[in-house]
A = this chain, B = another copy of it.
Amino acid sequence: MKKNELMQYSCPLGKAMSALGSKWKPIIVLVIKDRKLRFGELAARINVISRKVLTDQLREMEADGLVIREEFKEIPPRVEYSLTEKGLALLPILYQLEEWEMRYHVYDPEKVKDCKTFLENKNNKKVAI
């Protein structure tokens, strides 16, 4: 085993970061937080992500125990995603990270608003990012 693999896979912090250190995972967690969402709902709420990448990310998060994937064998197919207990436990930490950034960075309120409405636009529902 190489040393950097030791870092990545055996250190708790390294492993935690690899579980949510990708571009979209923290956002996906925040978007699913309230209730089960279908794949299409997820894709609509984060409309800048491609379906391939969304699928990839969800599969990895499932493997990491962050989300639950429920597949209903229907026509048309339906798949629902929800957070596991582990995924839910991540929420307060993500909020703290958000607060930390807000506290030490000067934001243009308009841009933050843009960011919030960006996700809201496509679903007519508040998503706190």
Contacts and interface: CB of A to CB of B under 8 A. Distances in A.
A17 interface: yes
Interface in A18-39: 19, 21-23, 26-27, 30
A92 B4 CA distance: 24
A100 interface: yes
A40 B40 CA distance: 50
A111 interface: yes
Interface of A is mostly: helix
Interface in A35-62: 47-48
Contacts of A93: 93, 96-97, 100
B13 A112 contact: no
A64 to B, nearest CB: 9
Interface of A: 3-4, 6-8, 10-17, 19, 21-23, 26-27, 30, 47-48, 65, 85-86, 89-90, 92-94, 96-105, 107-108, 111-112, 114-115, 118, 129
